[in-house]
């Protein structure tokens, strides 16, 4: 359960206990009641079995409830409960320590550390954790502590305090306040996979789609196998699957894009300036603009067709299309009437095999259409059916081009009787 930060604090704890043990006879304001109390204390500090140590501590408390060394005894209780893996008891002990000395660093530290670990979102637990974390930020160097050691330990305490001060508003449904503290914690120590995951979570909770890219970045950071990722492969895999699903829903499937985000996230705790991921609507709009630029006629037709098959198709037809000359369109001939010298052509615009438009021609067209004949035309819509979909347009002779049908060859005239007789004589 301990990380590098807590080990620094434990170093101070052990040093403090040893100093107290060595200075018992030198402390003018503190005295052991008798030799038996001193022997108890000495036995506790030498005992390595935590269960036996706890029993000795209970004996000391029972026999010498009002000892001058209550704070030292609580320190010993704290490390013993830690060794026994009893965090709830550690919190209760830390509260007792703070009742005796509100600035006790160990009491402040352990409540700050254990508040997120215990995952207790009760109001009183959150209030206690917040007060302890704020106290830890303001902790002052003990007079007997080396300056360099204190600097290192205090840096770790500040990281922990901001982490807890972010976790608490996250439980209170205040993602903005939580984000501020998590960002500060990562600024002080960028290699905290859990904090990166929490930061992504509270950004996502703010429901600002333009910031979803940041959330995906922090999730990718937590899922990375670098120093900024979660400690276990299982945890990293779970977060990677989670954010990739969100990313695909937001942006669309893009393995190369996801790989690029993973690479950036592994390199640093915060996304680079201007980092953005386009959502599917932005991508669709861009693709539509590209399509319009590359194939304006088809884009125009698809836009008209979309309106005609929508809920307001009748009003769109009557007010916007019927009788209105349309810009030039292009389509593939599917059939003609009659079989020669066509007066009507059935056209597929979006799909060469799917009838969508019937052209009523001002003048018949010679011959029969050839397979895959594509014509361009400008027509005036005259009739419309939604199901089956069909728009009938009237087209003037000079408004259609691309027809390749050939006129039928003239029929041969029968030979005259004289010619037939002459042919027989020969």
Host domain of residue 126: 4-189
Residue 36 lies in a domain: yes
Are residue 45 and residue 160 in the same domain, yes or no?
Answer: yes
Q: How many domains does the chain have?
A: 2
Residue 354 has pLDDT above 80, yes or no: yes
Q: Which residues pair with 7 in a beta bridge?
A: none
Of the residues 160, 189, 218, the one at which a domain ends: 189
Q: What is the DSSP string of 248-292?
A: HHHH---HHHHHHHHHHHHH-SSPPTT-----HHHHHHHHHHHHH
Residue 142 lies in a domain: yes
Q: What's the CATH number where 118 sits?
A: 1.25.40
Residue 35 lies in a domain: yes
Of the pLDDT bands very low, low, confident and very high (cuts 50, 70, 90), residue 426 is low
Residue 12 has pLDDT above 90, yes or no: no
**Token pair of 204 as six digits:** 């996502």
**Token pair of 200 as six digits:** 């992504």
What is the pLDDT of the chain when averaged over all its residues?
89
Percent of the chain with pLDDT over 70: 89
Residue 218 has pLDDT above 50, yes or no: yes
Q: What's the CATH number where 353 sits?
A: 2.40.50.140
pLDDT per residue over 116-158, tens digit each? 999 999 999 999 999 999 999 999 998 888 999 999 999 999 9
Q: Which is more confidently placed, 9 or 116?
A: 116
Of the residues 123, 157, 189, the one at which a domain ends: 189
Residue 60 lies in a domain: yes
H/E stretch holding 363 reads strand 357-365
Are residue 26 and residue 174 in the same domain, yes or no?
Answer: yes
pTM: 0.73
390-395/357-365 β-pairing: parallel
Q: How far is CA 2 from CA 194, 228, 254, in A?
A: 15, 18, 39
Residue 44 lies in a domain: yes
pLDDT per residue over 165-200, tens digit each? 999 999 999 999 999 999 999 999 999 999 999 999
Give the residue-averaged pLDDT of 203-228.
96
Give the residue-averaged pLDDT of 215-239.
97
**Token pair of 28 as six digits:** 């003018």
Of the pLDDT bands very low, low, confident and very high (cuts 50, 70, 90), residue 412 is low
Residue 136 lies in a domain: yes
Of the pLDDT bands very low, low, confident and very high (cuts 50, 70, 90), residue 272 is very high
Give the residue-averaged pLDDT of 75-93.
96
Residue 251 lies in a domain: no
Are residue 55 and residue 185 in the same domain, yes or no?
Answer: yes
**Predicted local confidence at residue 9, as pLDDT:** 46
Of the pLDDT bands very low, low, confident and very high (cuts 50, 70, 90), residue 37 is very high
Of the residues 189, 204, 226, the one at which a domain ends: 189
Residue 88 lies in a domain: yes
**Predicted local confidence at residue 370, as pLDDT:** 87
Q: Which is more confidently placed, 113 or 144?
A: 113
């Amino acid at each position: 359960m301990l990380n590098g930060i807590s080990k620094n604090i434990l170093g101070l704890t052990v040093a403090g206990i040893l100093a107290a043990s060595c200075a018992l006879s030198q402390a003018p304001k503190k005295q052991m009641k008798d030799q038996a109390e001193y022997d108890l204390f000495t036995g506790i500090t030498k005992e390595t079995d935590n269960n036996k140590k706890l029993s000795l501590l209970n004996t000391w408390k029972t026999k010498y409830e009002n000892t001058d060394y209550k704070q030292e005894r609580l320190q010993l209780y704290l490390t013993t409960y830690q060794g026994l893996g009893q965090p709830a008891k550690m919190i209760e002990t830390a509260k007792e320590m703070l009742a005796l000395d509100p600035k006790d660093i160990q009491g402040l530290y352990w409540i700050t550390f254990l508040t997120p670990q215990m995952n207790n979102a009760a109001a009183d637990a959150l209030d206690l954790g917040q007060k302890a974390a704020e106290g830890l930020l303001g902790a002052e160097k003990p007079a007997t502590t080396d300056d360099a050691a204190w600097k290192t330990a205090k840096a770790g305490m500040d990281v922990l305090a901001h982490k807890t001060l972010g976790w608490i508003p996250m439980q209170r449904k205040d993602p903005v306040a939580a984000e501020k503290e998590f960002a500060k914690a990562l600024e002080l120590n960028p290699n905290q996979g859990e904090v990166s995951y929490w930061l992504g979570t509270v950004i996502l909770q703010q429901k600002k789609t333009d910031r979803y890219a940041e959330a995906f970045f922090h999730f990718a950071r937590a899922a990375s196998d670098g120093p900024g990722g979660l400690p276990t492969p299982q945890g990293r895999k779970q977060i990677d699957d989670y954010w990739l699903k969100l990313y695909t829903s937001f942006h669309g499937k893009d393995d190369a894009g996801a790989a690029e985000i993973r690479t950036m996230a592994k390199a640093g705790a915060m996304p680079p300036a201007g980092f953005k991921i386009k959502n599917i609507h932005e991508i669709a709009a861009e693709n539509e603009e590209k399509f319009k630029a590359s194939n304006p006629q088809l884009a125009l037709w698809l836009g008209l067709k979309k309106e005609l098959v929508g809920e307001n198709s009748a009003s769109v037809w009557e007010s916007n299309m019927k009788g209105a000359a349309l810009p030039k369109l292009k389509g593939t001939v599917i059939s003609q009437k009659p079989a020669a010298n066509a007066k009507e052509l059935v056209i597929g615009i979006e799909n060469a095999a799917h009838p969508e438009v019937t052209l009523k021609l001002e003048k018949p067209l010679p011959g029969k259409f050839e397979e895959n004949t594509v014509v361009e035309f400008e027509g005036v819509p005259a009739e419309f059916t939604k199901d089956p979909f069909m728009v009938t347009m009237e087209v003037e002779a000079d408004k259609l081009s691309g027809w390749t049908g050939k006129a039928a060859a003239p029929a041969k005239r029968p030979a005259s009787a004289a010619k037939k007789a002459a042919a027989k004589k020969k």
